[in-house]
Amino acid sequence: MRRAVGSIQVFTFKEGLMSAVAHDLRLALRSFEITLEGTALAGVFDLTSLAVEGPMQDGRLRAERYDDAKRADVEKAMHGEVLHTKEHPRATFTGSAIASDEQGSSYQVSGQLQLVGKSQPLSFEVRRDDQGTYRCAFELTPSRWGISQYKALLGAIKLKDVLRIELALSEPPA
């Protein structure tokens, strides 16, 4: 069995009449376990470890624009009103990773993602870079799992019904 280490980042996007005063955000999932045994892939993601890194502007993280109080406010809403992490502290993925090429540098991943108590199919491609890191980026539509769009100011600011997930994973040193 092989375990992965690395990073998982989640990107949220704003929309609405007053979206110019809001921010797209980068979040980090700090605690997870991903294992591969043969082609069987399993992941357990501790949603309570999802933390705000800061706002994105022009494709760059601008962490200095959020102080600890602002991060705490966003995290409180994210955990309490959106993900309900007290009732659903974990997400899980079970599926397979099948090599797409003979070199083992590309994999097609497919399976079921269970999030907030609901399971939906999920597929994406993973590629190994020149440093041996497995990378992928894909989008999730939260409403597929029954997650409502977060709204503020009577809906003048809300989150788009799409998240971008980016993974950079490798095997831990022996």
**Every domain of the chain and the residues it spans:** 2-170
C-alpha to C-alpha distance for 76 and 48, rounded to whole angstroms: 11
Q: Which CATH number fits domain 2-170: 1.10.10.10, 1.10.3720.10, 2.40.128.110, 2.40.50.60?
A: 2.40.128.110
Summarize the confidence of residues 83-92 as an average pLDDT. Answer: 96
Looking at the chain, the whole-number percentage of residues with pLDDT higher than 70 is 91
Instruction: Kindly report, residue by residue over 102-150, the tens digit of the pLDDT.
Output: 887 899 999 999 999 999 999 999 999 999 899 999 999 999 999 987 7
pLDDT value at position 81? 87
Residue 155 above 90 pLDDT? no
Looking at residue 154, its pLDDT comes to 47
Of 21-25, 63-67, 80-84, 154-158, least confident by mean pLDDT is: 154-158
pLDDT > 90 fraction of the chain, expressed in percent and rounded: 70
> Residue 165 and residue 174: Cα distance in Å, rounded?
28
- Reduced 3-state DSSP string for the chain: CEEEEEEEEEEEEEECCCHHHCCEEEEEECCEEEEEECCEEEEEEEHHHEEEEEEEECCEECHHHCCHHHHHHHHHHHHHHHCCCCCCCEEEEEEEEEECCCCCCEEEEEEEEEECCEEEEEEEEEEECCCCCEEEEEEECHHHHCCCCCEEHHHCEEEEEEEEEEEEEECCCC
Residue 95 bridge partners (DSSP) = 41, 111
- Please give the residue that has the higher pLDDT: either 104 or 12: 12
> Which residue has tokens 């980042």?
9
Name the token pair of 111.
Answer: 């399976």
Model confidence, pTM: 0.90
Q: 158-173: per-residue pLDDT in tens?
A: 788 999 999 999 887 7
Q: Is the pLDDT of residue 27 over 70?
A: yes
pLDDT at residue 157 tops 80: no
What is residue 21's predicted lDDT score, i.e. its pLDDT? 52
Question: What is the predicted pLDDT for the residue at 174?
Answer: 64
Is the distance from CB of 101 to CB of 108 less than 8 angstroms?
no
Q: What's the confidence (pLDDT) of residue 173?
A: 72
